[in-house]
Amino acid sequence: MATPNNTNTFHDDLHATYITSLGDKLDSPTSYEGAVTEHLRMSGVYWSLAALSLLRSPNEVDTSMGLTKPRAHDERSSIVDWVFTCWDPKSGGFGGNCSGECAHDAHLLYTLSALQILAMADCLEDERLDKEAVVKFVCGLQNEDGSFSGDKWGEIDTRFTYCAFSCLALLGKMPLPNWDNTYSTNNSHASDNTIDLHKAVKYIISCRNSFDGGFGAVPGAESHAGQVFCCIGALSISHSLHLLNDNPKSDADVLSWWLAERQCDSGGLNGRPEKQADVCYSWWILSVLSILGRVNWIDTSKLGQFILNCQDEDDGGIADRPYDMPDVYHTFFGLSGLSLIGHLDEIGDKNGRTYRHIDPVFALPSDVVRRVGLNAQVARPSGDELESRLSMHSVLQV
């Protein structure tokens, strides 16, 4: 295999142009890419906004993307107006797009993306957002065993637990475990606007694998770095990270080590042993190592170099691997990776820009997380025992 021409140049302007021109390209009726990805446009818009937010100020993002107001000379409505056309009042959730005034079917994945967009636009208080209905939609998807379905058709996956927790946090409705350990396990969601947190957390723990400390999509499934993010993110939002140490055979550090072993010779990270490195794992893995305070267990400078090697030097954007075609998903995760290892700060020092930071739990710019008032549990890097490193603590017991 040819060796990538190692570049140290970060193509700030090219990336910004790549992101801001993407919507026009995809909306063209002759765009094949636009056609085959129309169903997940809500997530596409979220990735674009979050990616650009790491490079530009909230104001610049708003004007260049047409976030809260339509862009000059643009016939399309603002992104926020479009988000509300994708809301399905019958179910209370958001769809991935709308066709001719008709919202696509609601799904937890797109409901989270929609709320994340509204959070970045500072529109969570918009009167069109029926918070009660969205909360009901999310809570209604919890199953008897604590797991969450993605929609009414019943697919179960720990990805959906993360989506549910994050949605509830954004809506200010995430229940937290009681300090006095009186949280009721009989808290039924059927007629309620809340979830059974105890069962939900217990379900996450049941998806854990003892020998690598990782998590799968369902109990019995193989550990996968993407799924690890969903489970650790959910435990962090629910202030339950200390449960990671309940299994004596597999403490939080075994998980961190398994994640550190995802780093390949190329510097990039893979999602499971003996798989190829891919830029998206820069996010799935670094976010977890950030939450667990173990980013220094990998070689961050080699990883930063790998991400830079995946840039499209002609047209901007970041790909999964060097020489591949970029897309907005890998652009966002590549930039997030550079942010979490502090490389964006270093680049900013050199080119005289101040870059915003990504929050490892909520996958939103950290200033947005602060503005909305979201909080979660994370571990400090120093010290030994996980319990003593947790900056927030709860006594929920499974």
Partner 1 sequence: MHGQKRSEYKSRLLNPEAASKLATKAQQWNALSHELLSQRKRLITPLNADAKPPSPKMLLTLTEKMLTVNPDPSHLWNIRREMLLHLLEKESSQFDVQPELSLTAHCLQRNPKAYSSWFHRKWSIAYMLSRGKTENQSNVLQSELDLCAQFLMLDERNFHCWNYRRFVVALLGSMAAKESAEINEIVTNNTAAAANLPSESYSGDWSSWMDLLSEDSTSKEILMGAQIVSDSTPKNLTSSLSKEKLNELIVSEWNFTSSKIQDNFSNGSAFHYRSKLISIVLEARLASDDETLDNAARLLRKQEKILSMAREEWEEILLNAIFTEPDDQTPWWYHRFIVAWAKPSLDLRDELGDSYNELVEDYESLLYEMADSLRELLEVEKENGLEGDAAERDESKGVKCKWAYLGLHLVLFSLFKLQRVDATELLCEAQECLDALIAIDPCRSERYKMLAAELSA
Cα–Cα distance for residue pair 161/148, rounded to 1 Å = 5
Residues 2-21 that bind partner 1 (CB under 8 A): none
Q: Which pair of structure tokens corresponds to residue 80?
A: 């926020």
Collapsing DSSP to helix, strand or coil, 35 comes out as helix
143 lies in the site for partner 1, by CB under 8 A:
yes
Cα–Cα distance for residue pair 252/283, rounded to 1 Å = 19
Residue with token string 């797109």: 110
Task: Give the residue, chosen from 212, 309, 340, 343, that forms a contact with partner 1 under the rule CB under 8 A.
Answer: 212
Q: Which pair of structure tokens corresponds to residue 258?
A: 């398994």
36 lies in the site for partner 1, by CB under 8 A:
yes
Residues in the interface with partner 1 (CB under 8 A) total 82
The answer to whether the CB of 366 falls within 8 A of the CB of 384 is no
30 lies in the site for partner 1, by CB under 8 A:
yes
188 lies in the site for partner 1, by CB under 8 A:
no
Residue with token string 């998903």: 329
Q: Least distance in Å: CB of 194 to partner 1?
A: 19
CB nearer partner 1, residue 63 or residue 206: 206
Task: Give the residue, chosen from 113, 236, 238, 270, that forms a contact with partner 1 under the rule CB under 8 A.
Answer: 270
196 lies in the site for partner 1, by CB under 8 A:
no
123 lies in the site for partner 1, by CB under 8 A:
no
Q: Give the containing element (helix H, strand E) for 99.
A: strand 98-99
265 lies in the site for partner 1, by CB under 8 A:
yes
The answer to whether the CB of 208 falls within 8 A of the CB of 250 is yes
Q: Least distance in Å: CB of 62 to partner 1?
A: 28
Write the CA distances from 202 to 15, 376, 378, integer angstroms.
Answer: 41, 18, 19
- Binding part of the chain for partner 1, among 15-23, 129-137, 163-171, 258-266 by CB under 8 A, reads 258-266
Task: Give the residue, chosen from 50, 108, 156, 390, that forms a contact with partner 1 under the rule CB under 8 A.
Answer: 156
Task: Give the residue, chosen from 86, 115, 232, 260, that forms a contact with partner 1 under the rule CB under 8 A.
Answer: 260
Cα–Cα distance for residue pair 322/312, rounded to 1 Å = 9
Q: Least distance in Å: CB of 30 to partner 1?
A: 4
Q: Which pair of structure tokens corresponds to residue 127?
A: 């009167």
209 lies in the site for partner 1, by CB under 8 A:
yes
Cα–Cα distance for residue pair 117/332, rounded to 1 Å = 14
How far is the first Cα of the chain from the last one, in angstroms, to the nearest whole number? 49
Collapsing DSSP to helix, strand or coil, 102 comes out as strand
139 lies in the site for partner 1, by CB under 8 A:
no
Q: Least distance in Å: CB of 91 to partner 1?
A: 11
334 lies in the site for partner 1, by CB under 8 A:
no
Task: Give the residue, chosen from 58, 175, 219, 348, that forms a contact with partner 1 under the rule CB under 8 A.
Answer: 219
318: β partners: 311
312 lies in the site for partner 1, by CB under 8 A:
yes
How many CA atoms are closer than 13 Å to the CA of 365, on its beta-carbon side? 25
268 lies in the site for partner 1, by CB under 8 A:
yes
Task: Give the residue, chosen from 107, 202, 343, 389, that forms a contact with partner 1 under the rule CB under 8 A.
Answer: 107
Q: Least distance in Å: CB of 389 to partner 1?
A: 13
The answer to whether the CB of 201 falls within 8 A of the CB of 243 is yes
Residues 271-310 that bind partner 1 (CB under 8 A): 272-278, 294, 296-299, 302
